[in-house]
Amino acid sequence: MTNKSTPHHVAIVMDGNGRWASRRFLPRIAGHKQGVDALKRCARACDARGIKVLTVFAFSSENWQRPQEEVSGLMDLFALALGREVPQLKADGVQLRFIGERQGLSSRVLKGIELAESATAANQQLVLNVCFNYGGRWDIVQAAARVAAQGLAMTEQSLSQMMALAHVPDPDLVIRTGGEQRISNFLLWQSAYSEFFFSDKLWPDFDEAELDLAIQTYGQRDRRFGKVSGQRDAVSLPTGSN
Ligand code: IPE
Ligand code: IPE
Ligand code: MG
């Protein structure tokens, strides 16, 4: 089911796992485990709604500063979830891509990433970009370094082509769960003209009804891209020419 107000690319800051667990007097990692299930449900729901690209923020470059126990728990969970979920994702036509700095990740995690990407590379149904050890500033810097290393002119286009999400169009809709209204170093470059939807639901509680509310809200927005409402491309002649 697709209609014209369905976003092509949805990006999500999956926030609130720790609070979900704390409210139940559980260790934070229990919330992260629930978060994996929420992501599986969300990917299926996005696919069912005709969304073609889903990008999720799973671990930021700043999340290393959490207590060592949580960081190692997250790394274990990530490696485990990869091993467990890839066959089903492959069967569902999901193309998995991992976005972020790979240096500093353990060989176990790296191996999981490489296997998951190669096993699903030919899939076309839904592209699932998992931002892991990712930061928007890191992305801009690595892209600029690659532009410079290749001796290219520094332009918006050359930089865009070197960004970690160059294989997909910019996100139409960015959702953040967990109640905070900030970007926390997520897609700084790519979200220039995205619509934002902030949900008070904690990520493990994010469900189809909330996804539908986000999509419905998105459908009511007037995306102007700097133009005026209802303006057609043919009208945008250079100043002074009409
Ligand atoms: C988001 O949930 C997942 C990661 C950052 C890895 P949090 O762990 O940030 O949950 P809260 O914000 O503390 O509730
Ligand atoms: C953003 O959440 C990162 C992820 C969801 C992976 P954080 O919980 O790290 O963000 P802050 O610290 O509240 O800004
Ligand atoms: Mg958080």
- How much is the pLDDT for 3? 56
Angle at which helices 28-48 and 68-91 pack, to 10 degrees?
Answer: 30
Using a 6 Å cutoff on CB, does residue 15 contact ligand 1? yes
- How much is the pLDDT for 113? 98
- How much is the pLDDT for 199? 98
How far apart are the C-alpha atoms of 19 and 11, rounded to whole Å?
A: 21
Using a 6 Å cutoff on CB, does residue 49 contact ligand 1? no
- How much is the pLDDT for 241? 35
Using a 6 Å cutoff on CB, does residue 57 contact ligand 2? yes
- How much is the pLDDT for 4? 64
Distances (CA, A) of 22 to 18, 39, 46, 68, 86: 6, 20, 28, 18, 29
> Percentage of the chain surpassing pLDDT 90?
93
- pLDDT, one tens digit for every residue, the chain (242 residues): 445 689 999 999 999 999 999 999 999 999 999 999 999 999 999 999 999 999 999 999 999 999 999 999 999 999 999 999 999 999 999 999 999 999 999 999 999 999 999 999 999 999 999 999 999 999 999 999 999 999 999 999 999 999 999 999 999 999 999 999 999 999 999 999 999 999 999 999 999 999 999 999 999 999 999 999 988 765 444 544 33
Query: How remote is the CA of residue 18 from the centroid of ligand 3, in Å?
Result: 7
Q: What are the residue boundaries of the structural domains of the chain, listed by start?
A: 9-141+169-218
Active site residues per annotation: 15, 63
Residue nearest to atom 2 of ligand 2 (CA): 15
How far apart are the C-alpha atoms of 165 and 202, rounded to whole Å?
A: 26
Q: Relative to the alpha carbon of 70, which ligand is closest? A: 1
Homologous superfamily of domain range 9-141+169-218: Decaprenyl diphosphate synthase-like (3.40.1180.10)
How far apart are the C-alpha atoms of 157 and 111, rounded to whole Å?
A: 32
Query: How remote is the CA of residue 111 from the centroid of ligand 2, in Å?
Result: 25
- How much is the pLDDT for 231? 85
Using a 6 Å cutoff on CB, does residue 139 contact ligand 1? no
Atom of ligand 1 nearest to the CA of 20: 14
pLDDT per position as a tens digit, 33-91: 999 999 999 999 999 999 999 999 999 999 999 999 999 999 999 999 999 999 999 99
Closest CA relative to residue 167, chosen from 96, 85, 78, 69: 96
Best residue for ligand 2 mutational test, from 12, 15, 36 (most atoms within 8 Å of Cβ): 15
Using a 6 Å cutoff on CB, does residue 165 contact ligand 2? no
Closest CA relative to residue 141, chosen from 157, 159, 156: 159
- How much is the pLDDT for 230? 85
